[in-house]
Copies of this chain bind each other. A is one copy, B any other.
Amino acid sequence: MKLTEKKVSSILRRQGYKLTPQRRAVLNAIAANKDHLTPAEIFDRVRREYPGIGLVTIYRTLDILTDLGLICEVHSGGHCRSYLMRRPQEHHHHLVCSDCGTVTDFTNCDLSALEQRLSRETGFHVEGHLLEFSGRCQSCQTITP
């Protein structure tokens, strides 16, 4: 299910948000990349096609889009905030290439057996998990560093 502009617009409006050209530009910048972008990187890219935009707007837009589940955050690599289009709408995780930054999604993480074991062993009531893999994507494996 491709995320059309109409769909995005209706998701935003359903929550009382407006689809401004700035927000559209931010979404397009994120959607145009297969790797993850920091707020500053998004700012730079959006500015090319929308020179007047302020960095504040980037931050505000990223917060809203994250709340609405339209974009995801990536953590691998030590940086704190880096964003990516949310592709599968279901629960999923990321494989992040440490060389080129390309992100591949996968579903069915299937941690329930592990969660049950942990509940049993530790008494923890597990509510969520943070899981990300890092490594080299297929096209980065052949090139020597």
Contact = CB atoms under 8 A, between A and B. Distances in A.
Contacts of A127: 98, 134-136
A122 B104 contact: yes
Contact of A135 (B109, B124, B132, B136): B124
Interface stretch (A8-16, A40-48, A113-121): A113-121
Category for how many chain A residues contact B: 20 to 34
Interface string A6-29: 000000000000000000000000
14 contacts: A95-B118, A95-B126, A98-B127, A106-B121, A115-B133, A123-B141, A124-B135, A125-B136, A126-B134, A128-B134, A129-B133, A130-B130, A130-B133, A131-B131
